[in-house]
Structure 1
């Protein structure tokens, strides 16, 4: 097992979130560093897990990693991202080639109108500055901060810069919608991600992907100041690209009730 260090990764200031750099973008940057610098870039990524230790600021990130630690069928790299000499993220990436075996489509895309039939949504820039880099079009009646009955959001999303939908971009998309609890609340509060795990499908290797994706996020459980969100990303032609699960910290905000409404 060898330890290697990467060159510095520049944190894109356009991808700021409430308390620092957008978590999905940071996880995607970690994957790029691991794949290109530690594993040679020739193995498809299967799983990426990222633990967020502190908000990532505007300074450069430097990743160090072990690996790859190869098994009979897979290779794993452990990584840590440092900023100003302090660890801010750590995690692991699992790589492995495609193999013959049974197939199962257990998570079909939601039956929703296409992006041309859905209105655009502008997220408040003070809450989600990074959203200016995206075209977001809700595909159901659920909206952030609408006080609705379900903790779920579904939207068509595409990058305004037209980037290719590689694994790093899909990692960003898995975390790009607001926390699903926002669909039930009427006032915002910080809900930072503590851990994000993304599982990728073979659809990412089936030609160049770009343009619209369909993204769904929903809260599976919340309580005790924590929430668990599940998300999924499909291509424009409804192929599943990735699934993700993340643990979030639900922070209290002065003047708000547990339901997220402002006390009178």
Structure 2
């Protein structure tokens, strides 16, 4: 059944900020949610994750309404990497990442340590376990949080049911190499049978890694489809309010997207 988003609407301060969004996302799929600032992207992923209950409609994961699932049950089926995470106490990297294992029962201390080390290696932080989280750079902290999320979610499929990995701007503080590395992790999760929903601002990364683009504008889903299809018309330029140049470099599997700078710059 996968992830079902049915006429989801969200209201804040008496104002509708998300308007009847509907989508179906099956197992083995990576979806990039894109759109201008204030379009409702983070609000949508909060509704999908169960963090925010919609005023209208509902979100179901394998038939279960995520807003009614017990937090402990939901934590075994979906994991969320938020835009930012504030840690006030002097935890080590190992302690932060180990928090992701709280819902995974039946692991002894040795297995837990091995799982944390595996997650840190996956995000290129091998050997960082004893460092204090607060002393890391912003990009390193972001990758620590991803390692925690990977520990929480585990394998992409359990008992024949795809798990859901939600990433809200996962590349915002990362250099180019680590942007590619992080989205490669997400791509492998989807290829392994899981479901990935990622909010991305970099259109080239969205086009390159995702199976589908969900395009939001002013709280409405204005387009939903394969990247190559959505790049063909004027939709992206109209949505972002700037001209776009679509290039197809030789040997590239996907097109590249550039702002039409000659028309913008004086």
Q: TM-score, normalised by structure 1?
A: 0.25
Return the structure number with greater strand share.
1
Structure of greater relative contact order (alpha carbons < 8 Å, 6+ residues apart): 2
Q: TM-score, normalised by structure 2?
A: 0.25
